[in-house]
Structure 1
Amino acid sequence: MARRDLPSNADTSASYELPGIALISRDGAAQLLMAPGESSDVERFPIRRAGKKTALRFAVGEPGRRGTIWRLWASRETDDVYLGSRHTAREAKMSLHQSGDWRFQIVDPERPKTVRLHDFEGTPDGRIIHRWARPKPNAVGWTHAVSIVLPAHHLVTIPDDGVRWDDVRWCPAPRPGAQVEFQVKIVSPDRGVVSYRELIESGGRLAVMDALQLASGDVAIVLALTVVTTEDEAAEIARYEEKARLGVPPATDFDRSPQLGPRHLVFGHDPDGRPRYYDLAFTVDPG
């Protein structure tokens, strides 16, 4: 996505003509600004401060046919941000520490498993399964943390799914041959506009799933990009599917009950080396 500086009078709709997203801070409170079109008025959304009961929950699909429900939460006192599957965050989670020590780690290896992890390089004790340093922000203060990709054919039917519509932010299911990519970013407000013109012109869609204001005033934001899966990435996903199929654990070690929505989480990289996870169904649902 292209970027440009935020106009000095960005508080006014007339100054914000480029389709894009910006984060601003007014009197210590963060706000999200969105301009969905060239001539659209700016839409403003307040952003909650991180604290108790402010976790973000987001997923692709709908109750009964969906991917993983992700949960993002943050400390009230620091800029530590955490991300995990809503149902297995006590088993494994991503920790984006304010110190810049970012990691995916096992929390409790003894808990029952419903997410199978693949292609991770573990430490000798096996707890830290992927570790990386916080990258530098771009020119307008956006730091990319992680991407999670769900291909359309990895949405599955979950019998007797107890998830409520109003308890999760839902991204519509992509068409066959497309995918949704959740992007988690840490943003310093008042630095500039991020444009999604190129994405829209290529037929893609962008949605802001939710955001949290952190203790320092920075913002953790979750975007959803819906795009056609390229041939190269489709081939990569096919390789991951084969690895996952060959790595199926015995039923005694992994609960395959369909109502739990068992998943594979496969680790890859963006071309620039950023973490990119693939949220794959344990059993692909052809329907």
Structure 2
Amino acid sequence: MVDEIRRDIHAWPLGAVSTNELYDIFVGKRIEGTCDWVLNQSWFHHWTGPDFPDGRAKILWINGPAGFGRSIICAGVIEDMSLKLEEDPVAYFFFSSDFEGRKDPFFAIRLWLSQLVPYPVVFELFRDRWSGRPEQKATRGDVLKLFREVVTAIPQYTFILDGLDECGWTGVSSSVASDKLVACFLEELRRAVSATSSQILIVSCDEPEIRSALSGQPDAENVSVNQYKIRPEDVQSNVEVFSPSVVDKKLIVQADGGSRGYCPFAGRAV
């Protein structure tokens, strides 16, 4: 009975939309030693550090063009932080163009919350809200309130979001115009983590909607926002390491009678 309740509570914020498995895919593509340059940067150490000046949550936005291995970098960061922060929760989500929940950026928060259900404090918060209407999917209001309660109740949560630029910004049933949905999401996210010791990493292309939402009111709501744009020289060593791997994969495919290989750095067929 307890396991059944836990399963239902875990599914409550998600509804019928299934989760994706992109993290495992990107970790599998990452070659050891690549993408580690991020972990050695001072701006990354500032974001991961235990200090939260003036009680402000920390948001780090890493952006760069397509083909720079952003998602694989993100997977590497998740893998590293999950090992180092065994007792501090790390929740993550990867948007992709073929994911059924991509039209709503708020699904990222739903997924984050579902990953935190195993933690006793989070489970109790979930159960209190879920018990009154177990047959219904959690509303966006439920999700935002619960998210705020979670980050307030337990210090130093880490939330990671990749591919926000992949989110379908049209066709969403909302009172907010579709071109403002991402801005609305980021505004609500900042408000939810305000004055907490939460860490949020967003990895995406440098889209105007995202930049505008993250750069506006930098000192508002007790949230610190920093950004880093990936440069070609940052990933050059990765390309040099990946190149032999790509050649090997092409040879294997050709030996099997195929005509296409896979580039683990860009995450695309070649």
Tell me the TM-score normalized by structure 1.
0.24
More helix by share: 2
TM-score, length-scaled by structure 2: 0.25
The structure richer in strand per residue is 1
Taking CA–CA contacts closer than 8 Å with sequence separation of 6 or more, which of the two structures ends up with the larger relative contact order?
2
